[in-house]
Amino acid sequence: MKILIADDSRVMRQIVTRTLRQAGFGDHDLVEAADGKQAVDMAVAEKPDLVISDWNMPEMTGIEVLRQLRAAGNNVKFGFVTSECTPEMQQAAEAAGSAFFIVKPFTAERFDEVFSPILG
């Protein structure tokens, strides 16, 4: 399976990658996007099974990425790993079709709990 990690922070992409490995998902093919526009392009080109996105990114926000993918008929499993979390953000994510909303800081246990049902 292929996982797209979209975050404008290279360090955060590395932390997400490391945490995925710690949670037992290290054998999946991991690809990265450094901003929202790149995330849309990569989601189309790479056809990942899962997109893990930050909320606030340059070019396009994570919610804009999700909405654009859904508008184009792309139903990839998509969710957020973000430091901000308001009820409005969670409602917007859910309404747009987000599968999960993980708040930083996160643990390998939290990743396992969220991603095991998605990745098997």
> In this predicted structure, what is the pLDDT of residue 108?
97
DSSP H helices, the chain, are 10-22, 36-46, 62-71, 87-96, 108-119
What is the rounded CA–CA span in Å between residue 106 and residue 53?
A: 14
> In this predicted structure, what is the pLDDT of residue 107?
97
Give me the CATH topology for the region 2-119. Rossmann fold (3.40.50)
> In this predicted structure, what is the pLDDT of residue 17?
97
Low-confidence ranges of the chain (pLDDT < 70): none
> In this predicted structure, what is the pLDDT of residue 120?
79
> In this predicted structure, what is the pLDDT of residue 45?
97
Peptide bond preceding 48: is omega within 30 degrees of 0, i.e. cis?
A: no
- Classified as helix, coil or strand, 4 is strand
Q: What is the pTM of this model?
A: 0.96
| Cβ pair 17, 30 in contact under 8 A | yes
